[in-house]
Structure 1
Amino acid sequence: MKKIHYLLSIGAVAIAALLPLVTADQFVLHICVMIFIYVGITVAWNILAFGGILSLGHAAFFGIGSYTVALLYVNLNINPWLGILAAMLTAGIGALCLAIPLLRLRGPFFTLSTLAFVEVLRLIAIYWVGLTNGSVGITTPPAEGWALLSFQERQPYYYIVLFMTLIAISISVWIYHSKMGYHLRAVASDEDAVRALGVRTPRLKLTALVISAALTGAFGAFTAMYFFVIEPETNFSATLYSIQPALNGIIGGMGTLLGPIVGALLMTPLGEWLRTTFSGATQGLNFVIYGIVLIVIVRVMPGGIVAGFTKLYRRFRPAERSAGSGDSKDGTAEEIVDDDHISTTAGRRS
């Protein structure tokens, strides 16, 4: 089964890499760039979801990354590539500032507090005119070239964000299968029990938050260079960069490896198509249709698309289900509890 997964992954990457050679349609490439951006942001958001943590504050890290690369480039003439690294650093620092007062909160209290954090930063960006230029925003210089991360065509942006997305996915997979990933999934099941076993859960969640924020900041920096204009209402938009990644993850399968990717691949082009199709006199109808699609998916597959199709697969392949139930790694069998791997027993069958 693992070999099949590897082959499918390699095939998907190969198809993505060859797509610009097949079509030069700039709108199609733009949609693909947006898909990769949202896949990357959603995968970063999902690192916290490994631990059962629902954040609505990732627009803060996205905006911090956007303003970091723009301010360094426009005011100090620092290369945008270095600006992306600086954006990851500042987003990580922003995560530390968020973690100090809020990380001990749980459930909806933490979720709502992260949303308030976004609003605070948006207001700071609006009223700190001397630094951010307020609501007018910042426009990056028109100079072009690979060294300046600025192009007329979409193809270079496509390959850059594809590479960034693959890095984000690789980091997510590594964390999921690491000691940290086991601990996070155990925290999602029973944090008190994990703490009783000696795991420092505040430090664990802080590490996950900083990594997630840094990755989000990198995509925020790339998006700033992609759209040229950085302003508070867009780059600190909770709807675009907090709620949408969360919806992608929940619809695809929160806390799974494949779920965020599937959710972003499905919902991003749907949202773009609805926005461009229902404009003008029918503006607003796109949100109605989008909401209906969300409700249908959540009702039919409450655990996410990945979990839904997994159940269907097991239902029609009972032999494989019974054969593989003893060595499942998805939390259905008892895992060893020691100093290196701490998890919980879930779904034990009599």
Structure 2
Amino acid sequence: MKKKSLIWTLGLVAAAGLVPVFTSDQYILHVCVMILIYVGVTVAWNILAFGGILSLGHAAFFGIGSYTVAILYVKMDVNPWLGILAAMVTAALGSLLLAVPLLRLRGPFFALATLAFAESLRLIAIYAVPLTNGSVGITTPPTQGFALISFSSREPYYYIVLAMALIAIGISIWIYYSKMGYHLRASASDDEAVRALGVRTPRLKLAALVISAALTGAFGAFAAMYLFVIDPETNFSTPLYSIQPALNGIIGGMGTVAGPIVGAIVMTPLGEWLRTTFSGTTQGLNFVIYGVALIIIVRVMPGGIVSGMKKLYRRFRPENRSDGTAPDASGPIQPEQELANSEGGRS
């Protein structure tokens, strides 16, 4: 990571950590908690996007995580912190069920397979009454304490989910700049060419799917403890936890490091504000305005907000540097080009 980017990152982290210091409004903190949950889920979703894989089934992993921690805590008296770790494991194991369509299907066909997978799990949660309580759902006990991830105010929740979001972002950055990340991005450009260079792309995509699912399961488990009530319609909700993370990633910049973060920060409070403002007799108008906002952003910035801001920066910066030298016109090395260079160097 460049020094300038590192300074910006540390500044943003410090600013995020000071939010509860400047406001004690519980509603604002609730919105901030939801933003961080969506940051984490969208960042996890975006790990697959590094390889050009579009998933519409992350609600499955979110729901698996929610139900894992709830069932272990309520019915087996397992500590919620251990429940979050178990949720990551069960979500990762659940993702292996998608291994076959991941390796055999491409593009929209895999996206439809993930969508069907999430819907199947929602129906299972409804009918598996002895385990999940069906449509009634599971309610976590009101007993409070840090060990039980239950508090009377939202400040502790905020700091916990902030730490989780930072860990997810750190994992995403590590993957993006690692050998795995370069191979995934090269595969997104030309999978057959990357395979010809000897890279086992199916194994890479499977690893990305497992990591993405595990992170999503962790945030699903946290959301279960934060929202207290776990039910199939909410925790396996396709619009909330499959479509929304995809929209956040696409609006912010799919396949980039910062795109999912920016998308979640922009779209989550917008949706919440529209929902609370246009309720009652004007209910439904919020979806119209939200849709119009999406269309405008996509039309103005087709590559996402991050890509659009970079283009604006390049457009308005001075064409020549202060030392009189022209900027490098060769552009960044593409992942597949770097991969080919590294393979050639080895041979």
- The normalised TM-score by structure 2 is 0.95
Q: Which moved more, 1:317-326 or 1:6-15?
A: 317-326
Question: Residue 200 in 1 paired to residue 203 in 2?
Answer: no
After superposition, give the CA deviation of every residue in 1:231-273 in whole Å (9 maximum; x if it has no partner): 0000000000000000000000000011101100000000000
Cα deviation digits, residues 157-188 of structure 1 (max 9, x gap)? 00000000000000000000001000000110
- TM superposition shift of 1:326: 3.6
Rounded to whole Å, the distance in 1 between the matches of 2:291 and 2:53 is 24
**Separation in structure 1 between the aligned mates of residue 302 and residue 342 of structure 2, nearest angstrom:** 34
Root-mean-square deviation (CA), in Å?
Answer: 1.8
SS in 1 for 2:327: helix
Is 1:337 equivalent to 2:340 in the alignment?
yes
TM-aligned CA deviation for residue 100 of structure 1:
2.5
**Partners in 2 of 1:253 and 1:236 — Cα distance?**
25
Q: What residue is the counterpart of 1:266 in the other structure? A: 266
Say if 2:88 and 2:218, in contact at 8 Å, map to a contact too: yes
Regions of 4+ moved over 6 Å: none
Shift of 1:99: 1.3
From the superposition, tell whether residues 341 and 260 of structure 1 become closer, same or farther in structure 2 (CA, over 3 Å).
farther
**Separation (CA, whole Å) in 1 of partners of 2:147 and 2:101:** 39
- State whether residues 326 and 333 of structure 1, in contact with CA within 8 Å, keep that contact through their aligned partners in structure 2: no
- Number of paired residues? 341
Alpha-carbon contact 1:70-1:224 (below 8 Å) kept: yes
Partner of 2:41: 41
Whole-angstrom CA distance in 2 between matches of 1:271 and 1:341: 49
Match of residue 187 from structure 1: 187
Q: Which deviations, in whole Å up to 9, do the C-alpha atoms of 1:75-118 show, x marking residues without a partner?
A: 11000000000000000000011113443200000001100001
Contact 1:179 1:341 in 2 (8 A): no
Q: Does 1:323 align with 2:327?
A: yes
AA in 1 matched with 2:64: I
Task: Please give the alpha-carbon distance, in whole angstroms, between the structure 1 residues aligned to 2:38 and 2:315.
Answer: 32
Counting only pairs closer than 5 Å after superposition, residues 87-98 of structure 1 correspond to structure 2 as: 87-98=87-98
| 1:314 positional shift | 1.1
Q: Specify whether residues 96 and 297 from structure 1 end up closer, same or farther in structure 2 by C-alpha distance, changes over 3 A only.
A: same
Distance 1:322 1:128, change over 3 A: farther
Q: Rate the CA distance shift 1:322–1:195 in 2: closer, same or farther, 3 A.
A: farther
Q: How far 1:7 sits from its partner (Å)?
A: 1.1
Q: State the partner residue of 1:172.
A: 172
Q: Is the 8 A contact 1:103 1:110 kept in 2?
A: no
- Output the amino acid matched with 1:188: A
How far apart, in 1, do the equivalents of 2:256 and 2:213 lie?
Answer: 19
* Gapped regions of structure 2 (runs ≥ 5): none
Secondary structure of 1:293 counterpart: helix
1:255 alignment partner, SS class: coil
Task: Flag structure 1 segments of 5+ consecutive residues without an equivalent.
Answer: 343-350
> Hey, what's the Cα distance between the residues in 2 that align with 1:340 and 1:334?
10
Q: Do the aligned residues in 1 keep the contact of 2:183 with 2:339 (CA within 8 Å)?
A: no
* Superposed counterparts of 1:138-287, under 5 Å: 138-287=138-287
Contact 2:183 2:336 in 1 (8 A): no
Matched to 1:328, the amino acid is P
Inter-partner Cα distance in structure 2 for 1:322 and 1:232: 58
